[in-house]
């Protein structure tokens, strides 16, 4: 697999440009689509506010909102704000109007950009001169703008009535709803006058929907100005990916077009999730350098190591002067023990008190080597130095989002994880996982106890086993996905012990399951149970809730699990599982483990109909090749025939010819070989393969055998056609003999 000249599929520098490349955010997208649909049927649409930290993906979501709105018949108007736009309300609102009217002209409104109205508008705005004949300018605001710009002391305040008149005119002319998409709205945070006018203008104007993006600290001011805000804006938080599924999709999907999913295993997905906390920007940043190492020939697979961490840290240092940032100067000066202490004090930024942090660390022995007094003294030192702040008793890191990102990678190079948790639930799960880590093969899954069925784990296991019917992903998609793959580590029929525990802080309880995710964990579970008994004792010492019990689940065969997934309407997760089985099939085949390759291919085959629409042409050809190589010639023939009209038709014709040769259908095979030769000769570039079947005469008949190495399709197709032609010419008619064999 030569990827050295391929475009690196992980673009961390730019937002996702369109909905096709967008990953995850299913609940958020459902909200967005609902309010877009509502905006077309109600007189006064509910506007949206996309709120999240920097580099959380807000602009990518805004791009999707724009695409979804346009698909519903909205005129979408994009308004990217900067600091200069808020110097005066006249400047700001004229920018809004100009964006709206230009979008109207470009859509063909008022005659479009070739009509007299457009020419008149441009002349007024750019020459600041008002024509004698105003017939072709039905708008009031441009005339006021020209007068204001023509004066030495320009007007600073916009006319509300003129702007409302012009926007209403545009809406009536278009007879379609408009959506105004404002990016980088934090520049409005200190512009109370503009915010008030924005509210007054659009509050009662029909046919206009607003979408604002900004960080959460923007909204307290908007909430104050637009009180009561809930009547006009729907707040949609845009944060880190909420589960491992979205992170895995973010990592794997860019590799699909390159047919390179084999580069990623689930261990890497879990490592990246832990390092980045599921933040899309950081995931793409890490994967960019992982893929680059493969392109440069310094790695065969995407593996997270200190070299990658250093490369990411250097990239961050080129984008910001880290030494000019007070928080980072303090972080870089900390020794290893202080970094470890910081990770204990601030495990869930702004979410827990010192007493909570100490209690959970003490219960799960994360604070070994620290006494409560020592950790509290470090807390006071960090508060005094300004590295931490305390609000309502809860500890927070003083830096901004960039400081947090850099600090995580700086500490990870020293094998310390800090600021990894986005919620109390994630923090508790991380604490239990760290506690269980020394017991090889054991894994932790956590849920909020108040909203989780106590038997959820057992329910999912029984659905995967076919004992219970229903959508296995409904309500517990991430758990079902994890358990699906972890069951695959065990043989069919294996009994897996599970321990269910409830613990947390006084204000929050989590239900967690510890189970043997790998065969090595089967013997470790009794030791884990003993360790949990000690945790229960320590929890009593600090007065925190803790209880646990055990049960057993049985592992079904991989084909049974695949059928349970294939019956689910969730095709996104079916695609994730198919991709893993397909990569597993390739890996097993390349190392000559044919039984495992057949097992993985069978699971992929069961799932294929559920996700057929997502198959690329190259993937269909490769799937056909694996079907043929593993002895399923009929399926291979069907897949190659499907690919004959696609961009990989030459290879499909060649592979189909090999199937036909194996079945003794030599004259048919010759036609496909001639088609392959014709197509490959008309191509501008040569096509190379690492494995292909090739015909050989053995004991008076033709069979096909697999060849390995750097194989040029043009050469092999010509040679294969010659072999078939000479074989046929040596006989008066097509021979009648049993189907040939495939083999190595």
Q: What is the DSSP string of 466-499?
A: TSS-S-TTTT-HHHHHHHHHHHTTS-TT-EEEEE
In DSSP terms, 395 is beta-bridged to 390
**Both tokens of residue 321?**
């002067």
- Per-residue pLDDT of 235-248, as tens digits, reads 888 878 877 778 88
Nearest residue to 256 via CA among 488, 524, 582:
582
Label the pairing between strands 233-237 and 394-397: unpaired
- Per-residue pLDDT of 8-63, as tens digits, reads 988 888 887 766 677 777 778 888 888 899 888 888 888 888 888 777 788 888 88
Among 138-147, 371-380, 667-676, name the one with the lowest average pLDDT: 138-147
Across the range 206-220, mean pLDDT stands at 80
**Both tokens of residue 644?**
């004959």
Whether the model pTM is above 0.75: no
Residue 64 pLDDT > 80: yes
Contact at 8 Å (CB) between 45 and 203?
no
- Per-residue pLDDT of 599-644, as tens digits, reads 888 888 888 876 666 666 777 888 889 889 988 899 899 889 988 8
Nearest residue to 58 via CA among 76, 40, 80, 35:
80
Helix (H) or strand (E) holding 698: strand 688-698
For all residues of the chain together, what is the average pLDDT? 84
Among 30-39, 93-102, 256-265, 551-560, name the one with the lowest average pLDDT: 256-265
Contact at 8 Å (CB) between 545 and 511?
no
Q: Binning pLDDT at 50, 70 and 90, where does residue 560 land?
A: very high
How far the first Cα of the chain sits from its last, in Å, is 21
Chain length of the chain = 744
pLDDT higher at 270 or 652: 652
Q: What is the pLDDT of residue 218?
A: 67
Handedness of CA 53, 59, 64, 70 (dihedral sign): positive
Q: Binning pLDDT at 50, 70 and 90, where does residue 337 land?
A: very high
Residues 6+ away with beta carbon under 8 Å from 267? none
- Per-residue pLDDT of 296-308, as tens digits, reads 888 888 988 888 8
Residue 154 pLDDT > 80: no
Task: Return d(Cα 261, Cα 580) in angstroms, integer.
Answer: 8
**Both tokens of residue 490?**
């065990």
Nearest residue to 387 via CA among 325, 443, 429:
325
Going through 482-620 in order, the beta strands assigned E by DSSP cover 495-505, 508-516, 546-554
Q: How many CA atoms lie within 13 A of 224 on its CB side?
A: 9
Q: How many CA atoms lie within 13 A of 403 on its CB side?
A: 18
Residues 6+ away with beta carbon under 8 Å from 198? 188, 210
Q: What is the pLDDT of residue 308?
A: 87
């Amino acid at each position: 697999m030569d990827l050295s000249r391929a475009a690196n599929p992980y673009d961390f520098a730019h937002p996702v440009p369109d909905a096709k490349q967008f990953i995850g955010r299913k609940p958020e997208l459902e909200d967005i689509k609902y309010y877009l649909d509502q905006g077309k049927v109600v007189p006064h649409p509910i506007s949206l506010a996309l709120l999240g930290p920097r580099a959380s993906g807000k602009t990518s979501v805004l791009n999707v909102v724009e695409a979804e709105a346009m698909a519903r018949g909205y005129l979408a108007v994009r308004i990217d704000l900067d600091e200069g736009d808020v110097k005066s309300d006249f400047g700001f609102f004229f920018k809004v109007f100009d964006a709206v009217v230009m979008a109207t002209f470009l859509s063909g409104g008022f005659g479009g950009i070739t009509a007299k109205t457009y020419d008149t508008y441009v002349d007024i705005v750019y020459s600041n001169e008002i024509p004698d004949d105003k017939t072709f300018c039905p708008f009031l605001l441009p005339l006021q703008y020209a007068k204001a710009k023509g004066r030495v002391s320009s007007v600073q305040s916009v006319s509300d009535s003129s702007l409302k008149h012009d926007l209403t005119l545009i809406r009536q002319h278009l007879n379609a709803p408009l959506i105004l998409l404002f990016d980088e709205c934090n520049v409005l945070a200190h512009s109370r006058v503009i915010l008030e006018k924005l509210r007054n203008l659009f509050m009662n104007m029909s046919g206009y929907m607003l979408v604002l993006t900004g960080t959460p600290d923007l909204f307290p001011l908007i909430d104050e100005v637009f009180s009561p805000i809930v009547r006009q804006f729907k707040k949609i938080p845009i944060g880190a990916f909420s589960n491992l599924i979205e992170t895995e999709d973010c990592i794997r999907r860019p590799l699909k077009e390159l047919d390179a999913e084999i580069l990623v295993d689930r261990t890497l997905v879990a490592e990246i999730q832990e390092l980045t906390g599921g933040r899309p920007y950081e995931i793409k940043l890490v994967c960019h350098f992982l893929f680059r190492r493969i392109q440069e020939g310094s790695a065969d697979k995407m593996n997270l190591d200190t070299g990658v961490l250093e490369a990411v840290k250097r990239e961050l240092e080129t984008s910001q002067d880290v030494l000019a940032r007070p928080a980072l100067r303090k972080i870089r000066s900390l020794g290893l023990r202080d970094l470890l202490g910081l990770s204990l004090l601030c495990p869930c930024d702004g979410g827990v008190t010192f007493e909570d942090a100490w209690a959970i660390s003490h219960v799960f022995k994360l604070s070994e080597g620290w006494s409560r007094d020592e950790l509290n003294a470090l807390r006071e030192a960090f508060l005094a130095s300004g590295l931490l702040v305390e609000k309502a008793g809860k500890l927070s890191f003083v830096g901004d989002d960039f400081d947090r990102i850099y600090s995580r990678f700086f500490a990870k190079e020293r094998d310390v994880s800090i600021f990894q948790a986005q919620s109390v639930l994630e923090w508790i799960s991380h604490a239990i996982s760290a506690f269980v880590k020394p017991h090889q093969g054991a894994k932790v899954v956590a849920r909020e106890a108040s909203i989780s069925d106590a038997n959820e784990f057992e329910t999912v296991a029984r659905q995967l086993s076919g004992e219970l019917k229903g959508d296995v992903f409904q309500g517990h998609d991430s758990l079902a996905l994890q358990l699906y793959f972890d069951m695959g580590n065990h043989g069919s029929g294996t009994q897996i012990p599970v321990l269910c525990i409830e613990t947390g802080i006084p204000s929050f309880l989590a239900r967690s399951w510890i189970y043997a995710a790998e065969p090595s964990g089967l013997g470790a579970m009794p030791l884990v149970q003993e360790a949990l008994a000690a945790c229960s004792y320590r929890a009593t010492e600090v007065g925190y809730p803790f209880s646990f019990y055990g049960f057993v689940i049985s592992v079904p065969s991989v084909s049974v699990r695949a059928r349970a997934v294939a019956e689910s309407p969730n095709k996104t997760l079916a695609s994730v599982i198919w991709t893993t089985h397909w990569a597993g099939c390739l890996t097993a085949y390349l190392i000559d483990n044919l039984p495992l390759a057949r097992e993985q291919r069978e699971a992929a085959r069961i799932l294929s109909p559920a996700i057929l629409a997502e198959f690329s042409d190259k993937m269909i050809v490769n799937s056909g090749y694996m079907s043929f190589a593993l002895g399923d010639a009929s399926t291979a023939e069907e897949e190659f025939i499907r690919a004959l009209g696609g961009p990989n038709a030459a290879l499909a014709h060649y592979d189909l010819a090999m199937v036909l040769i194996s079945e003794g259908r030599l004259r048919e095979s010759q036609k496909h070989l001639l088609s392959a030769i014709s197509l490959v000769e008309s191509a501008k570039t040569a096509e190379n393969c690492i494995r292909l079947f090739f015909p050989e005469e053995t004991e008076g008949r033709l069979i096909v055998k697999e060849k390995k190495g750097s194989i040029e399709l043009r050469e092999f197709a010509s040679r294969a056609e010659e072999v078939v032609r000479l074989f046929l010419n040596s006989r008066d008619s097509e021979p009648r003999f049993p189907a040939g064999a495939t083999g190595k």
